[in-house]
């Protein structure tokens, strides 16, 4: 009976693999067809220009004709999407290649992003990380790309060599609306930690690519003391451990000093020979920029303080927060002492 069960499982796996390949081939063919339809519409209505003179009427007539002969799926709105799809990606062959690997639903969401760099990011991440349409939609709504950008100019270019730049991994702020925490009021750190563990898969998606969970409340011991780290992860792109300390109140200099010690201890006691230096992230409810400015975070390439938000903010609120973080990072960079700058006269 066990042999027969194994036999059935093998046949089922073959069929499922074939169906997945068929779906993928059909999807790629349809995405290409929509792009070609958009191209043909542009050629007909605009003669290659970016503005239509009689395009709206042409689309309405085309919609009626296609619906009558081919059925549903060719509404006026859909034809406009096909046209916009072509106009958005016609000048970028790399992006178009990425488009063909994703579903039409993915492409339809991504093409609404105005920033070409953001579009390229969401195309690449959707494919490499196998985001569902729902996951992509959340990353667009929470402006994942822009939050990563807020960390890329924070002086991390002087950090030890890694397989990937740190700025592609550390976000500020982190959006944790999926934890369904109360919008306001004091929150116990143990409750925040438990909520993260309960929704660990979603938290890993919010952290970003390459993270795997290692432990909670990991004990690291010296000859005289024991310390417990809230959350420990490993990132196989960065090739290092990432330790997270949860703070439900305002960030203090004691919190930063404690994390600095944790990182040093972890590097000394847990880091492998092939691992890059450990990264420490203090995930806090709010930050005092004066504390950040005059703390060891200012000079360290391994310490980060990021805010978390309990609810998904509006696009306007997120943009304002990101711009504020980028401005503060720029101010801190400009205020670094001249001694930290490389000597141009040094051979």
pLDDT attached to residue 38: 92
- For the chain, the domains span 2-142, 146-335
Q: What percent of the chain has pLDDT over 70?
A: 84
Select the more confidently predicted residue: 317 or 78: 78
For 121-135, the pLDDT digits (tens) are 999 999 999 999 999
For 17-50, the pLDDT digits (tens) are 898 888 878 888 999 999 999 999 988 876 655 5
Query: Looking at the predicted structure, is the pLDDT value of residue 162 above 60?
Result: no
Average pLDDT, the chain: 83
Query: Looking at the predicted structure, is the pLDDT value of residue 342 above 50?
Result: no
pLDDT attached to residue 22: 86
Q: Are strands 211-221 and 174-175 parallel, antiparallel or unpaired?
A: unpaired
Q: What percent of the chain has pLDDT over 90?
A: 46
**Is residue 219 helix, strand or coil?**
strand
pLDDT attached to residue 23: 82
Residues 240 and 234 sit within 8 Å (Cβ to Cβ) = yes
Stretch 50-63: mean pLDDT: 74
Nearest to 174 by CA among 308, 304, 303, 281: 308
133 burial type by CB count under 10 A (0-12 exposed, 13-18 middle, 19+ buried): middle
What pLDDT band is residue 200 in, cutting at 50, 70 and 90? very high
The CATH code of the domain at 146-335 is 3.40.1350.10
Query: Looking at the predicted structure, is the pLDDT value of residue 79 above 70?
Result: yes
Stretch 57-74: mean pLDDT: 89
In this structure, what token pair is assigned to residue 21? 């390949």
- As a whole number of angstroms, the distance between CA 290 and CA 276 comes to 30
Stretch 217-224: mean pLDDT: 91
Query: Looking at the predicted structure, is the pLDDT value of residue 339 above 60?
Result: no
Query: Looking at the predicted structure, is the pLDDT value of residue 155 above 50?
Result: no
pLDDT attached to residue 138: 93
pTM over the 0.95 mark: no
Residues 6 or more apart whose CB falls under 8 angstroms from that of 194 comprise none
For 231-266, the pLDDT digits (tens) are 999 999 999 999 999 999 888 889 999 999 999 999
pLDDT attached to residue 292: 76
Residues 266 and 241 sit within 8 Å (Cβ to Cβ) = yes
pLDDT attached to residue 167: 60
């Amino acid at each position: 009976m066990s042999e027969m069960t194994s036999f059935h499982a093998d046949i089922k796996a073959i069929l499922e693999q074939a169906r997945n390949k068929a779906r993928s081939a059909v999807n790629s063919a349809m995405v290409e067809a929509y792009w070609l339809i958009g191209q043909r519409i542009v050629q007909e209505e605009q003669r290659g220009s970016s503005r239509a003179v009689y395009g709206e009427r042409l689309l309405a007539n085309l919609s009626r004709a296609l619906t009558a002969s081919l059925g549903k799926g060719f509404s006026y709105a859909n034809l406009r999407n096909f046209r916009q799809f072509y106009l958005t990606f016609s000048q970028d062959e790399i992006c178009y290649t990425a488009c063909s690997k994703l579903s039409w639903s993915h492409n339809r969401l991504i093409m609404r992003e105005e920033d070409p760099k953001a579009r390229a990011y969401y195309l690449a991440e959707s494919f490499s990380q196998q985001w569902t349409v729902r996951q992509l939609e959340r990353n667009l709504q929470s402006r994942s790309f822009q939050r990563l950008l807020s960390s890329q100019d924070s002086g991390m270019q002087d950090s030890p060599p890694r397989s990937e730049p740190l700025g592609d991994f550390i976000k500020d702020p982190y959006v944790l609306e999926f934890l369904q925490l109360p919008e306001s009021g004091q929150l116990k750190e143990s409750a925040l930690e438990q909520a993260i563990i309960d929704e660990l898969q979603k938290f890993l998606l919010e952290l970003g690519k390459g993270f795997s969970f290692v432990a909670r409340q990991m004990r690291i011991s010296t000859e005289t003391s024991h310390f417990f780290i809230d959350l420990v992860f490993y990132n196989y792109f960065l090739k290092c451990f990432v330790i997270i300390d949860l703070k439900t109140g305002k960030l203090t200099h004691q919190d930063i000093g404690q994390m600095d010690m944790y990182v040093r201890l972890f590097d000394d006691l847990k880091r492998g020979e092939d691992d890059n230096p450990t990264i420490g992230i203090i995930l806090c409810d709010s930050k005092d920029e004066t504390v950040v400015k005059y703390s060891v975070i200012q000079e360290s390439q391994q310490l980060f303080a990021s805010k978390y938000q309990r609810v998904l903010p509006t696009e306007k609120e997120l943009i304002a927060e990101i711009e504020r973080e980028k401005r503060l990072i720029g101010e801190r960079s400009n205020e670094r002492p001249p001694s930290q700058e490389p000597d141009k006269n040094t051979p």
